[in-house]
Structure 1
């Protein structure tokens, strides 16, 4: 069994999509013969941890879960990409997986050349890297490799918010003005307890975070009605009020709805997984556009929530669209498994 350290473990995030991604990384890595012995959270700056640096030289490989982090030369993006040259100098294979890549500087791109392999989530990210002469492979988001929910009768429309506060306010206005024709659902979730990740401090932090979130959710569900204009200070509480406790329950909620209007990337991927019709609103990178281009649903993205809702009478998938969704999800799951097998085989061969 190969050993690995995972970087950018986002399972501590209060977000169903991130938690499903990390769960799939652990499961698929184990299936391929890779045991993750330590996992570092998004905000872990490995450059300041000499003990972690020493541990990196003792494992067989390092895995970086890129998700939506590697864009616009963000501070977190630099921390992660700096791992590539560090590992190469010490002959430790280092792989970037499940990542977006957009609007990064040439300095960051040059550092990325030191990765042992790069697997991005969409062809737009692959094209940006290829423009600088950096090779990569496309493996769609790892939520698509999860087990889909059970098929249930569908009824009603759901609306979900966005990364952007202004977009979330648009979604809230739609919900308030629809007169009961639309229900609001949040992708926010309770934080997971970080047990067995190799860092005692993560466990205690996650435990504290869990109880804070529990208190916030409890308080939000007992507040009075939120204002229609939804001030910024109320958005967090609103997300907690309309949150769903577990990822399985969230997926089942999507699977029982006739359709979803969302500005969240992972809400779109989970709609695909559950074969739930949807309309999407653009986010902070090309991730949603790239996803829809790949599965042949590029006509399902709208400029805003009101225009999406005005077209809600045609939200149902056509027969051709449903076939495309099923093929895309099946192919994505197969690519995810093959990616981990390919990484494991390459590491063993080079060793």
Structure 2
């Protein structure tokens, strides 16, 4: 086996941001002669799965999509690093890319330091991993923004409210959308997703429960619209004056679409780091207590300076991304 992708977050097309990340990785490597790449899905406990372990043992190059997994010492983050160590000991090469890195054990940095290539997805993560490991760590913005978008010229109107990884914040966002007459459009095609790792009767029962929850939610929040894919979501954003969200990838897609946004803090520094790296107004990040009608009374339009900073950042990250993918392809030689 040549290249193996690990932490494939495009699990049954269940998250629009992850769809874009994995499409960017696959298409960029496909352009370099590596198409139809095998992968291990996000959350795969490969140590207890002989089939997935065999994939890792056969890999010449392991490309780990770090995304939002490597923070606060979470168990599934260690699974990724241990897979990389296994490939390395077998004589293979390892690239960790698109990685958040926040408040992880120092021994994790020791594992990562032996990889052949590391790219974080924000400068704060790169700095923390560099300080822990003693090596220089490169970075570029999240790969959901790697592929360019042609923004149609149209009159924008209305507000879209999106979801959050935090259940309580998500409820407040939905209530905010309903109370202000805004559209509630999650960054997922369903309100809840049943993991592919959930099987048998448990999966059947979980799906039935999700349908029940979704029916109740839609009755309570009739302004909710569930879209099919990332293209539909970006088209939605291109029509709006403002996005209010608690999701990192929703912010990334708002930046792509040129849509002003207000973000509620997430479960790591990922949104704060993204805004700082581009040079956007930090006041765009608000607490959940700001979710009231007064929020919509403010002018959240991008300034000329912010628009220029977005354009410059996206151009730089795409150029750096091409270099990164060239370096990954070179690992196979």
Find the aligned partners of 2:205 and 2:188 in 1 and give their Cα distance: 14
| Residue ranges of structure 1 left out of the alignment (5+ in a row) | 192-201, 228-237
- Could you say which residue in structure 1 is the equivalent of 2:314? 329
Q: Say which of 319, 327, 330 aligns to 1:342.
A: 327
Distance 1:241 1:311 in 2: 20
Aligned to 1:164: 166
Deviation at 1:33, TM superposition (A): 2.9
Question: Which one is further off, 34-43 or 136-145?
Answer: 34-43
- Report the counterpart of residue 136 of structure 1 in structure 2: 137
Alignment of structure 1 residues 107-146 onto 2, 5 Å: 107-132=107-132, 133-146=134-147
Deviations 1:185-214 (A, max 9, x none): 1111269xxxxxxxxxx99989x9999999
Structure 1 position 321, deviation (Å): 1.2
Match of 1:316 among 287, 297, 301: 301
Residue 301 of structure 1 pairs with residue 306 of structure 2:
no
Q: Name the counterpart of 1:264.
A: 247
Q: Alignment RMSD, CA only?
A: 3.2
Displacement of 1:244:
0.9
State how far apart, in whole Å, the 1-side matches of 2:21 and 2:236 are.
19
Distance 1:25 1:337 in 2: 11
Deviations 1:62-105, CA, capped at 9 Å, x for gaps? 11111100111111101001122212211100111111011111
Match of 1:252 in 2: 235
- Structure 2 stretches lacking a partner, 5+ long: none
- Helix, strand or coil for the counterpart of 1:158? strand
2:176, 2:291 within 8 Å by CA — same for their partners in 1?
no
Mapped partners of 2:202, 2:322: distance in 1 = 32
TM-score, normalisation: structure 2: 0.86
- How much has 1:16 moved relative to structure 2? 0.8
How many residues of Structure 1 are paired with residues of Structure 2 in the alignment?
324
Kept in 2, the 8 Å contact 1:154–1:255? The answer is: yes
What's the CA shift string for 1:228-287, capped at 9, x where partnerless? xxxxxxxxxx79953211221111001110111111000000001111111111110111
Q: What CA distance in whole angstroms lies between the structure 1 residues aligned with 2:76 and 2:196?
A: 22
Cα distance, 1:216–1:28 mapped onto 2, change above 3 Å: farther
What residue in structure 1 maps to residue 99 of structure 2?
99
Measured at CA, do residues 254 and 103 of structure 1 come closer, stay the same or move farther in structure 2, by a change above 3 Å? same
Q: TM-score, normalised by structure 1?
A: 0.82
Shift of residue 60, structure 1, vs aligned partner: 2.9
Bigger mean CA deviation after superposition, 251-260 or 4-13: 4-13
In structure 2, do the counterparts of structure 1 residues 225 and 72 end up closer, same or farther at CA, with 3 Å as the change threshold?
closer
- How far 1:135 moved relative to its partner? 2.9
Report the counterpart of residue 231 of structure 1 in structure 2: none
1:338 and 1:314 map into 2 onto residues whose CA distance is 38
1:22-52 deviations in whole A, cap 9, x for unaligned?
1111101112333353111112222234454
Q: Distance in 1 between matches of 2:24 and 2:319?
A: 13
Question: For 2:7, what is the secondary structure of its paired residue?
Answer: strand
Change (3 A) 1:21 1:308: farther
Q: What is the rounded CA distance, in whole Å, between the counterparts of 1:296 and 1:159 in structure 2? A: 23
